[in-house]
Amino acid sequence: MACKNTTQESVLILGAGCFGLATAHQLANAGYTDITVLDKDDVVPSRFSAANDLNKVIRAEYPDLLYTDLSLKAIKKWQTDPLYTPHYHETGFLNVTSSAATQQTKNVVETYISSIQANPAFDGKVQRVSGEDQIHSLVPAFNGPIPGWSGYFNRLAGYAHSANALRDVYRDCVRLGVKFHLGPKDGEVKSLLFAAARGVNICVGAKSRGGTLYQAQKTIVALGGNVCNLIPSLGPQVTGRCWGVAHIQLSPEEAATLRGIPVTNVRDLAFFFEPDQATNKLKFCHMGGGFTNYAWSQDGLSVPYPTLSESKLLPAGDEMQIRKLLRDVFPQFANRPLIDCHLCWFADTADSDYIIDYVPNTDNSLVVLSGDSGHGFKMLPIFGDFVQTLLEIGRQAEPKWQWKGSKSKVGSAWRAGAGQELVAIVPAKL
């Protein structure tokens, strides 16, 4: 495949979240000398980024070999690259269901384990676990009844402190000469700029909320759940969706008893991590079908609430699942207040495939990085490679990542439960 040297082109990246920073970092390392990044928050990591979090799961089991192979590549970097190793904790991943799970949710766990059982990369790393005795001997710190938990434990996995990893990538971008414009006036993108030429609309840059114009030969949009605000034509492919996240505060002594526990996903209830090392907070997320926000949109798109304060809530149904999980695994914390509750927004596709492609009819001037579908953070160390390849080849050779123009027919069967509209939910009383 013929590759162009595109390093002399000016590049404007909209969004300094996971995909935007990974791209800026890779391109700067590859010799691109004119890279500008805009973000609406005045700090990086942005408080609007889904990846600005205490922790994200790093694991490679996927029913789809493409993502398994890429995640294994990313894990190698998390394990060995000095930029990423300080943030990576290989605690293992316990992926189970409780006795209350539906057969469909139990089948999802089966799909994951069968996807890696024959893969030599996981030799000696994965074991099936079933029942209280086996799980207690694997994780003695789980002192609740853990009724009917069953699934597998994967040692080649863990979590990364995602906010800290983003911060270090950002600092390295600055060291490499990437220019950043942050904040509502200069960093928040209001619109794209187009010039008509050769019968198509060429994107020539973007305009900030404060009216600053940024021009570039390539504009790369990486706005996470907000992408459809800027590129509404993505609406048929991408849905802004969110999950609720909550923490509980542990004392240093309590946290010490849980050091090194695996990332644990009880798929019908919620998932959690070892307590954060700096704050001793335990994070929980009930990863059900997620929540959409179509109601406030005039053009039929589901997009995130515009302000942080509007997203500071936890659906009551999520609290129920988290409390049940606590009673099952850590009864001593079952009534601890849930704090830092918020909705975390991402860009969802029906088949969970990323979209990394040129926007049609823009003469390759406009690129979109989207469709993270809630599983993009683990790729931070290698995501920029995908974008560099796209720029050099001039087209997306991976069919799964192409702009598709319509919704895929395949549903996200790996999520427990159906999606709900936010207006229909009752917030937890916290």
Ligand X SMILES: Cc1cc2nc3c(=O)[nH]c(=O)nc-3n(C[C@H](O)[C@H](O)[C@H](O)COP(=O)(O)OP(=O)(O)OC[C@H]3O[C@@H](n4cnc5c(N)ncnc54)[C@H](O)[C@@H]3O)c2cc1C
User: Assign residue 283 a region: left if phi > 0, alpha if psi is -120 to 50, beta otherwise?
Assistant: beta
Closest approach, Cβ 39 to ligand X, in A, equals 4
Q: Does 14 bind ligand X (CB under 6 A)?
A: yes
Query: According to CB under 6 A, which one of 12, 19, 266, 284 is a site residue for ligand X?
Result: 19
Q: What is the dihedral of CA 382, 387, 393, 398, to 10 degrees?
A: 70
Give residues with Cβ within 8 angstroms of 140, minimum separation 6: none
Task: Report whether 417 contacts 100 (CB < 8 A).
Answer: no
Contact 307, 345 (CB under 8 A): no
Whichever of 324 and 381 has its CB closer to ligand X, that residue is: 381
Among positions 176-235, residues that touch ligand X (CB under 6 A) are 187-189, 222-224, 226
83: number of Cβ within 10 Å: 16
Task: Give 298's contacts (C-beta < 8 A, 6+ positions apart).
Answer: none
**Minimum CB separation from ligand X for residue 111, in Å?**
18
Find the shortest distance in angstroms from Cβ 139 to ligand X: 19
Tokens of 114: 């069968």
How many residues are listed for the chain in this entry?
430
Q: Measured from the CB of residue 59, what is the shortest distance to ligand X in angstroms?
A: 8
Residue among 28, 37, 38, 422 that touches ligand X (CB under 6 A): 38
C-alpha–C-alpha distance, residues 128 and 228, integer Å: 41
Question: Cα separation of 97 and 94, whole Å?
Answer: 10
- Binds ligand X (CB under 6 A): choice among 158, 315, 374, 381: 374
Q: Using CB under 6 A, which of 88, 170, 180, 243 touches ligand X?
A: 243
Q: Rounded to 10 degrees, what is the CA torsion of 228, 70, 352, 323? A: -100
Minimum distance of ligand X from residue 144's CB (angstroms) = 23
CB of 280 to ligand X, least distance (A): 20
How far, in Å, are 36, 229, 296, 332, 430 from residue 186 at the CA level?
12, 18, 26, 48, 36
Q: Site mask, ligand X, residues 306-345, x = CB under 6 A?
A: --------------------------------------x-
Is residue 429 classed as helix, strand or coil in its secondary structure? coil
Q: Is 348 in the site for ligand X (CB under 6 A)?
A: no
Q: Is 20 in the site for ligand X (CB under 6 A)?
A: yes
Q: Cβ neighbours of residue 38 under 8 Å, at least 6 residues apart?
A: 12, 13, 14, 15, 16, 180, 181, 182, 186, 187, 188, 189, 206, 208, 214
Mask for 155-184, x = binds ligand X (CB under 6 A): ------------------------------
Residue 240 found at the interface with ligand X (CB under 6 A): no
Which is nearer to ligand X, 3 or 43 (by Cβ)? 43
Task: Supply the minimum distance, in Å, between the C-beta of residue 211 and ligand X.
Answer: 14
Residue 55 or 97: the one with the smaller Cβ distance to ligand X is 55
CB 169 within 8 A of CB 45: no
Residues touching ligand X: how many (CB under 6 A)? 37
Does 41 contact ligand X by CB under 6 A? Answer: yes
Measured from the CB atom, the residue of 135 and 157 that comes closer to ligand X is 157
Whole-number minimum distance, CB 340 to ligand X, in Å? 12
**What helix, strand, coil percent values describe the chain, rounded to 5?**
30, 25, 45
Strand residues in 332-393 grouped as ranges (E):
339-348, 355-358, 366-370
* Candidate residues 28, 36, 39, 267; the one interacting with ligand X per rule CB under 6 A: 39
**Closer residue to ligand X in complex, CB, 139/341:** 341
Cβ at position 252, least distance to ligand X in Å: 25
Rule CB under 6 A: choose which of 12, 50, 146, 303 binds ligand X: 50
Comparing every residue's Cβ against ligand X, the nearest one is 17
Task: Calculate the CA 316 to chain-centre distance.
Answer: 23
Task: Write out the binding residues for ligand X, residues 265-304 only, by CB under 6 A.
Answer: 285
State the residues that interact with ligand X by CB under 6 A: 14-20, 38-41, 46, 48-51, 56-57, 187-189, 222-224, 226, 243, 245, 285, 344, 346-347, 372, 374-378
